Amino acid sequence: MKYIIILLFAAFVSNAQVKKEQLNLMPWPQNINLTAGNFAINKNFKINVTGNPNSRIFAGATNFLRRLDGRTGLFFGQGFISKINQTPTAELQINCVQAGNIGLNQDESYKLEIQENKILITAASDLGALHALETLLQMLQNDSSKYYFPTATISDTPRFTWRGLMIDVARHFQPVDVLKRNLDAMAAVKLNVFHWHLTDDQGWRIQIKKHPKLTDLASDGLFYTQEEIKSVVKYAGERGILVVPEIDVPGHASAILTAYPEMGSRTNASTLYEIERNAGIFNPTLDPSNPKTYQLLSDIFDEVCPLFPGAYFHIGGDENEGKDWDANPKIQKFKKKNKLETNHDLQTYFTMQLVPMLKKHGKQLMGWEEIMTKDMSKQAIIHSWKGPNEGLPAGHSVAAAAKNGYQTVLSNGYYLDLMQSVNDHYLNDPIPHNSTLTTEERARILGGEATMWTELVTPATLDSRIWPRTAAIAERLWSSQDIVDLESMHNRMNATSYRLEELGITHIKNKDVILRNISNNQEIKALADFSNVCEPLKIYSRNAGGTEYQMYSPLTLFADACTPDAIDAHNFNKATDNYLKNKNSENKRELVAFFQKWIATNKDLVQLGLNAPLVQPILPLSKSLSEISQQLIATIENKQASNSSKMNELLEKCNSKNHADVELAVYKSLKKLVNN
Amino acid sequence: MKYIIILLFAAFVSNAQVKKEQLNLMPWPQNINLTAGNFAINKNFKINVTGNPNSRIFAGATNFLRRLDGRTGLFFGQGFISKINQTPTAELQINCVQAGNIGLNQDESYKLEIQENKILITAASDLGALHALETLLQMLQNDSSKYYFPTATISDTPRFTWRGLMIDVARHFQPVDVLKRNLDAMAAVKLNVFHWHLTDDQGWRIQIKKHPKLTDLASDGLFYTQEEIKSVVKYAGERGILVVPEIDVPGHASAILTAYPEMGSRTNASTLYEIERNAGIFNPTLDPSNPKTYQLLSDIFDEVCPLFPGAYFHIGGDENEGKDWDANPKIQKFKKKNKLETNHDLQTYFTMQLVPMLKKHGKQLMGWEEIMTKDMSKQAIIHSWKGPNEGLPAGHSVAAAAKNGYQTVLSNGYYLDLMQSVNDHYLNDPIPHNSTLTTEERARILGGEATMWTELVTPATLDSRIWPRTAAIAERLWSSQDIVDLESMHNRMNATSYRLEELGITHIKNKDVILRNISNNQEIKALADFSNVCEPLKIYSRNAGGTEYQMYSPLTLFADACTPDAIDAHNFNKATDNYLKNKNSENKRELVAFFQKWIATNKDLVQLGLNAPLVQPILPLSKSLSEISQQLIATIENKQASNSSKMNELLEKCNSKNHADVELAVYKSLKKLVNN
């Protein structure tokens, strides 16, 4: 595949000054043709808008101007772009044929032509024009003294119409400003659906005026007013992003039942429900046999639906194990009376009651894949999430849903909270090459959605869990299926990562904040260096059991500063492979430099620990890495035989998952070296 | 004075393990008695509240718990503190006699007793208890493996009742989350008044439902809804902070007149008013002869006053030069008819019309010192701001107002936008030692207020302009007049600075963001090192004339990353003084190390500049510093005579203010060395 990509690049670069490989475009556009020339940017740079766009293009173009301003330091004279044909002679001309609508299956295509004295953006609507502006910003190049755009022609359109990010604001509440900066980042990588997981066992996060008890009793004061919801929806709309709300029922109901215990499925009314403080799957479930349950949900939908102009409403529907239903004779009786054999049938009955409540407001019901039962309406959208972790083949339900006649969205493989490598997400295709689906079935696969569950994610760490990895997922959903070169993806993702700071994304800067706290205001270099070879424990093995940390725990630990794809591990793995292929002195030197660094880091961490209690949990792992580094230096320099029992003992210490909630991301390469 | 402080410390520390000098308390409490012992903190640490407090103490105590949690990583079991006597056996007992009211002259005193197994906070009200919790957090100590509190008894109460921070949200709009984190920081240093400068020539920032034109036409969409205003006021109230709104009239009126030109003083109605994009003093002024002006203001006050439960309302009143009044025959006629001789008289007439409009809502009028004219009501509060920059003695009007029978607040000397050293602010006392005021007059001096004007301050840089310097101002307003040791202040301010990150203050982390942008995603160490000897141009000499940068300019330059009190300059100045006192080899070595660092930094910056256009403006100054460093090394090492004409030429290059909007903060010390 790498070969194909290189060929693809090689075909176009002969006359260009800037080569395609140098461009940090992400998602990579469908077609790009670089030519030999540059558009020089100066202080007089201006933008003009023509056609019949929605007014969101004015804010979008103004934001573009300010971002280009901030990068170049030119501080353009043009202030606010606020009307059609305001500056007819402007260098950047944006023409939109018509006003874009926020929703699925819109024409989001654009054409971007960068000439030496002119830049032309033409798009069916402002939605495509906003994408074009993001691409143009990504085209920015520089030499030592100035910034410029290389001349080029780009035509582009997305592969999938649903390119989403879900944020769970129930487990850890995420304030409005956190969401807004993430909407900015979504727009920057051409994502267009924000799925807002508003309720769960751990909190009810949306004001319901008719039922203030929901937030009074079940939010700890952490919720969005309806004004705030509107402001987020408006902000998203200005960026071309559809917002899909989720009210998760009938399970995940600890919070709603804290406010309304009488609608719960427990037989003993005196058993109080409480806001859940731990992580896991819990029993509290709405009572589907109680008419009041439907009245409450109808009231809620009547308030929530009008806040979201989009056509989709997510009702959750996942992880209801039905234990409280089984234990309740009244519900068992109800099942019999309604000829509902299984709890799945009962849940389908429940869900089908919601369909007309939502239809009344023009909303199509969407739910997690558990709602796909034999009697479920074909109008429902199936959200595929289960996979190998749940004992199913990857992407199983997305294909099943498409075959069953449902529209569907893939999230299995895009679970950001699993702390897996971006490579896994990137290569996870909603319609893989080997798919046997028909054209008609494929058309039902709307796209995919990255999911950010927040059991272990605070507002301070949210961005570092989502970004930059979600840029790679965005590329999978936007770009051609053939764009799969991992090295290219990593390079472009790293450039994208740095640019996300411009939008206020905190993934880089908040890492230092956590490390400063751990260091107790000492120099953080050693901690930062060590964090670059450590990754948080993966696939729910951190906080296993869900009770070590509570939802109110501040999560200021070393694992919270670490991320998947530890950067030095990535580089060390390459150095190891090089060395194992060719043990020349340069490759040796490169490996030994890593080992020397880790030995020094350990010394510094020990020193730091003298005045920093939070450094203590890290030391055993750092010590193990230092010790094996010393041994490996000796081995590599041929002073000592490798593969001794001592080496294996040291190696296994480096495989420990018992320290500071992290694992050494260099373990596999160390093992290769030891066993070499 | 240093001597007195040292004696004061020495008197108490004999038996204590932790010495007073080691404590990073800021503001320094009125009385502290350290004893020999520790309170060990563990996971079971709990808080209990008794007495009759306002419910703000519950949120305050819960926040305290989470902050202590985050620092120690202990992750306490106790979640939310929500009622009286919830956990009677808790180690930390908070007793408040009564509920506190937000406002002036409240009893804010507290007593904090840390015993080995118990911590007792007793306070007249929750206001004092919140202060005690901040002091307790500042008492936190650690060894290598654990955190603890040293046993001590502290009793404390503020010197002044008005301890304020003003933020100008007109020049650069500051979103709600920016304000909230600054309110957290204010509470952390015991400030209790947030003065919200809501309107100015550059924008109208508050929704007025009866007059939507104000925000539709004069805010660029950047304003607070009334819901948002309420949420800020509530947030402040939960932290014991009074919010004083300012609607600045009759001058500073470009924005309001953009919406309502018919109420302006210009004769030519066709001369359109526009939102001002530059910085400076501008002519647009309300027409005091037009009854509609008063109707509009009355409408505005009717909506604004109820949003702010406090008893004070700031009407600005500053910098009206009266040019448009002079040019308008109708206004001249009005003056004559009403026997108003001067424009001051006319402005007093205008201001006096506002008094009853505000009184109707129970508000006392406050204004900048220009409102203090002979006929001004003695009920008005005079806000003193002029000083040496305006050709007046420092603090002139604060004493004058007190003598004239006015309550008054000092801001001259606390202008954060002047980019002066914190030392200047710290030693600026509302009632200096040499004051000749009577006891009664002194009582009228309510306190002081740091003012953050934002012509050159964006949401990304606001925190770095306010913090940590405002902690020193807070100490001036809270602590005993005799606490003036600069070295101690700097040490404690630096510790406070680091702790502000816990509250989300961005002053440290956003510096790196700016430098990463300047570096074009290269290593920022050289830029950071150079920023540590550079300071932004002072006292309005940056953006002189007010037209180089517009209010929409993003301000992502090197000067925006630099701050007053450049840290390495501070250290270099000390090293220089040491060397000049004693030219021993150690002192030589210390100086030479600085010079070598700057030579290396310059090399790195040149290298960085090869791929970073925004580094170019910095290079001339860096080169000058490198060149003089080379010369001074030679001189110090006795290889070359000093004070040559070449040296003086190099020295003057280091005094340049023509590069990158910064000056070298080491110039004075370099000069001492050259002239030595």
End-to-end CA distance of chain A: 29
pLDDT in the model for residue B10: 39
CA distance A611 to chain B (A): 5
The structure tokens listed for B216 are: 């539709």
State the CATH number of the domain containing residue B202. 3.20.20.80
CB contact (8 A) between residue B80 and residue A520: no
User: What pLDDT does residue B267 have?
Assistant: 82
Residue B5 in this model has a pLDDT that exceeds 90 = no
b/e sequence B374-412, b meaning 16+ C-beta within 10 Å:
eebeeebbbbbbbbeeeebebbbbbbbbbebebbbbbbb
Q: Which of B431, B455, B479 is the last residue of a domain?
A: B455
Give the range of the structural domain holding residue A120, as residue numbers without chain letter. 2-156
Q: What is the pLDDT of residue A267?
A: 82
pLDDT at residue A13, as a whole number: 36
**Does one domain contain both B26 and B50?**
yes
Is there a single domain that holds both residue B144 and residue B57? yes
CA distance B462 to A68: 21
Confidence category of residue B492, pLDDT binned at 50, 70, 90: very high
**3-state secondary structure at position B624:** helix
- Checking if the pLDDT of B641 tops 80, the result is no
* ipTM reported for the complex, 2 dp: 0.94
Task: Indicate if the pLDDT at residue B293 is higher than 60.
Answer: yes
Look at residue B270 in the predicted model and tell me its pLDDT.
Answer: 56
Residue in chain B lying closest to A498 (CA):
B521
Q: What is the mean pLDDT of residues A555-570?
A: 96
CA nearest neighbour of B498 among B471, B476, B479? B471
pLDDT at B639: 64
* B550 shares its domain with B643: yes
Residue type, B5: I
> Are B29 and B131 a contacting pair, CB within 8 Å?
no
Rounded distance, CA B222 to CA B464, Å? Answer: 22
Pair type for strands B381-384 and B407-410: parallel
Q: Enumerate residues 6+ apart whose C-beta is below 8 A from B277.
A: A79, B202, B550, B551, B552
Give the up-direction half-sphere exposure of residue A76: CA atoms within 13 A in the CB hemisphere: 23
| SS3 readout for B206-253 | ECCCCCCHHHHHHCCCCCECHHHHHHHHHHHHHCCCEEEEEEEECCCC
Give yes or no for residue B400 having a pLDDT over 50: yes
Q: Which of A11-15, A664-668, B86-90 has the lowest mean pLDDT?
A: A11-15
Domain boundary among A135, A156, A177: A156
The fraction of chain B above a pLDDT of 70, given in percent, is 96
Three-state DSSP state, A453: coil
Which of A508, A510, A613 has its CB closest to that of B145?
A: A613
CA nearest A231 in B: which residue? B225
- The average pLDDT across A285-309 equals 98
Torsion from C-alpha of A214, A218, A224, A225, nearest 10 degrees: 40
- Mean pLDDT, residues A71-95: 96
Q: Angle of helix B291-304 relative to helix B343-359, nearest 10 degrees? A: 40
Q: Is residue B592 assigned to a domain?
A: yes
Q: What is the pLDDT of residues A626-663, one digit of tens each?
A: 999 999 999 998 766 666 888 999 999 999 999 999 99
Share of chain B above pLDDT 90, in %: 93
How far is residue B87's CA from residue B91's CA, in Å, rounded to a whole number?
9
Average pLDDT, chain B: 95
Query: Are both B339 and B190 inside the same structural domain?
Result: yes
Residues 6+ apart with CB under 8 A from A336: none
Structure tokens at B658: 């023509």
The reply to whether B98 and B181 lie within a common domain is no
- A42-46, A86-90, B17-21: least confident range: B17-21
The verdict on B88 and B124 lying in the same domain is: yes
Please, what is the angle between helix A226-238 and helix A56-72, to 10°? 70
Upstream peptide bond of B564 is cis (omega within 30 degrees of 0): no
- Please give the angle made by the CA atoms of B309, B310 and B311, to the nearest 5 degrees: 120
Residue B486 lies in a domain: no
Q: Which pLDDT value is given to residue B645?
A: 87
Task: Give which of A553, A521, A615 is closest to B68, Cα–Cα.
Answer: A553
Average pLDDT rounded to a whole number, residues A438-448: 98
User: What are the structure tokens assigned to A529, written together?
Assistant: 């260096």
Crossing angle of helices A469-478 and A176-188, rounded to 10°? 50
Q: What is the mean pLDDT of chain A?
A: 95
pLDDT tens digits, residue range A105-157? Answer: 999 999 999 999 999 999 999 999 999 999 999 999 999 999 999 999 999 99
Nearest CA to CA, how far is B438 from chain A (Å)?
Answer: 46
Number of structural domains, chain A? 2
**CA dist A108 to A92, A184, B554, Å?**
19, 17, 29
Q: How open is the CA angle A464-B63-B73, to the nearest 5 degrees? A: 55
- Average the pLDDT over A278-302 and give the result: 97
Tell me the pLDDT band of A359, cut-offs 50, 70 and 90: very high
Stated as kind and residue range, the H or E segment containing B48 is: strand B47-51
Please state the rounded mean pLDDT for residues A671-676: 91
Is residue A97 in some structural domain? Answer: yes
> Do residue B421 and residue B378 come from a single domain?
yes
CB contact under 8 A, B70 and A556: yes
Q: Which residues neighbour A410 within 8 Å (Cβ) at sequence distance 6 or greater?
A: A384, A395, A398, A428, A430, A445, A447, A448, A449
Peptide bond before residue A175 is cis, with ω within 30 degrees of 0: no
Does the pLDDT of residue B8 top 60, yes or no? Answer: no
Q: Encode pLDDT of B308-353 as tens digits.
A: 999 999 999 999 989 999 999 999 999 999 999 999 999 999 999 9
pLDDT band at B13 (very low <50, low <70, confident <90, very high): very low
As a whole number, mean pLDDT of residues A417-428 equals 97
Which amino acid makes up residue B300?
A: I
Q: Say whether pLDDT at A610 is over 90.
A: yes
B9 has a pLDDT exceeding 90: no
- Distance, in Å, from the CA atom of A471 to the CA atom of B291, rounded to the nearest integer, reads 58
User: Which pairs from B664-669 meet CB under 8 Å and 24+ separation?
Assistant: B664/B533, B664/B534, B664/B569, B664/B621, B664/B624, B664/B625, B665/B533, B665/B534, B665/B535, B665/B566, B665/B569, B666/B533, B666/B568, B666/B569, B666/B572, B666/B573, B666/B625, B668/B573, B669/B569, B669/B572, B669/B573, B669/B576, B669/B577
Q: How far is CA B399 from the centre of its chain?
A: 22
Do B42 and B94 share a domain, yes or no? yes
The pLDDT confidence band at residue A395, using thresholds 50, 70 and 90, is confident
B587 domain-assigned: yes
A394 in a structural domain = no
What's the rounded Cα separation, in Å, for the pair A675 and B575?
54
Residue of B nearest to A75 (CA): B553
Q: Give the model's pLDDT for residue B640.
A: 65
Q: Which residues of B touch A78 (CB under 8 A)?
A: none
SS3 label, residue A110: strand
B189 and B113 in one domain? no
B666 touches B569 (CB < 8 A): yes
Residues B61 and B208 in one domain: no
- Residue to mutate among A516, A522, A527, A615, with most B CBs inside 10 A, is A516
For residue A641, the model assigns a pLDDT of 64
Q: Are residues B244 and B198 in the same domain?
A: yes
Identify the bridge partners of residue B203 per DSSP, sorted by sequence position: B200
Kind plus residue range of the DSSP H or E element containing A312: strand A312-316
Q: What is the pLDDT of residue A644?
A: 82
| Residues of A in Cβ contact (< 8 Å) with B613 | 72-73, 142-147
What are phi and psi for residue B57, nearest 5 degrees? -65, -30
* Distance in angstroms (rounded) separating the CA atoms of residues A654 and A648: 10
Dihedral sign of CA atoms A132, A123, A102, A64 in order: positive
Residue A7: per-residue pLDDT: 40
A588: in domain: yes
For residue B629, tell me if it sits in a domain.
Answer: yes
> Which of A156, A191, A206 is a domain's end point?
A156
Tokens of B456: 């050159």
The pLDDT score that the predictor gives to residue A1 is 37
CB contact under 8 A, B71 and A517: yes
List the one residue out of A665, A337, A670, A338 whose CA is nearest residue A531: A665
Instruction: Decide if A512 and B510 are in contact by the 8 Å CB cutoff.
Output: no
User: What pLDDT, on the 0 to 100 scale, is given for residue A638?
Assistant: 79
pLDDT (tens digit per residue) in A498-516:
999 999 999 999 999 999 9
- CATH number reported for the structural domain that contains residue A53 in this entry: 3.30.379.10
3-state secondary structure of A302: helix
> Which stretch of A528-542, A549-563, B326-340, B627-641 has the lowest confidence by average pLDDT?
B627-641
pLDDT band (50, 70, 90) for residue A3 = very low
Instruction: Read off the tokens for B473.
Output: 């101002």
Q: What is the pLDDT of residue A676?
A: 82
**pLDDT at position A467 over 70:** yes
Mean pLDDT, residues B530-540: 97
Q: Which residue of A has its CA nearest to B525?
A: A525
Closest partner CB to B557 (pick from A73, A225, A504): A73
Q: Please judge whether B73 and A510 are an interchain contact, meaning their C-beta atoms are less than 8 angstroms apart.
A: no
Residues of B in contact with A146 (CB under 8 A): 613
- For residue B613, the distance in angstroms to the closest alpha carbon of chain A comes to 4
Q: Does residue A481 lie in a domain region?
A: no
Asked if A477 and A193 count as a contact pair (C-beta separation under 8 A), the reply is no
What positions of B carry a catalytic annotation?
319
B117 and B206 fall within a common domain: no
B185-241: per-residue pLDDT in tens? Answer: 999 999 999 999 999 999 999 999 999 999 999 999 999 999 999 999 999 999 999
